[in-house]
Copies of this chain bind each other. A is one copy, B any other.
Amino acid sequence: MSVRERKERERAERERLIVATARELAEQQGWDAVTTRRLAERIEYSQPVLYSHFRGKREIIGAVALQGAAELAADIRAATAAADGPRARVTALARAYLGFAAGHPAVYDAMFQLDGGLAFAREDTPEPLKDAFAALQETLRESAGAGVDPGLFTELFWAALHGLATLTRAGRLPPEDTERRTALLVDRLAVL
């Protein structure tokens, strides 16, 4: 039965190719440019092949989002691990988060702006998403302050970061003041 194994391997490989290509195309030209036709052409298969892997475009976006969540969690853990002291850790976390959003705008859109058909804040939330939130909470819990639920504090801090990320990216906030806003955010929100 090695034939089946090979086929499964090839299928999995092709699925990775689809997700990677969608992500690449979105990063290059925006999600609007990610049409099923263009995507199919890039992977050198016809459109229906996409639907043998994913239920539809939404699921493809969702797959990119999950990938992004895993990377974001890793980025945050790497940044905070390299920092000394609570304040440096929170600052590093904020910079890592905003840096990720600015550096991979299409992936960030897939995670939070577009409908990837993912559940959140619920029982059936996919693991990478829960883990990304966990990565935030690991560092932020030490800055929550006395008598404040770490989960609630993490939600608030996350919301602030998310707001900064999206408003900056949409041109609503001047990007040159990002660092000052980050500093103010850490100063005020975190109890150090």
Residues from chain B with a CB closer than 8 A to the CB of A100 are none
Residues from chain B with a CB closer than 8 A to the CB of A152 are 177, 180-181, 184
Report if A173 contacts B (CB, 8 A): yes
When the two chains form the complex, which single residue of B148, B163, B171 contacts A162, counting CB atoms closer than 8 Å?
Answer: B163
Asked whether, in the complex, the Cβ of B159 is within 8 Å of the Cβ of A167, the reply is yes
Report if A158 contacts B (CB, 8 A): yes
C-alpha gap A122/B175 in the complex (Å)? 12
Asked whether, in the complex, the Cβ of B184 is within 8 Å of the Cβ of A159, the reply is no
Q: Which residue of B lies closest to A133 (CB)?
A: B172
C-alpha gap A170/B162 in the complex (Å)? 13
CB distance from A167 to the nearest CB of B (A): 5
Report if A188 contacts B (CB, 8 A): yes
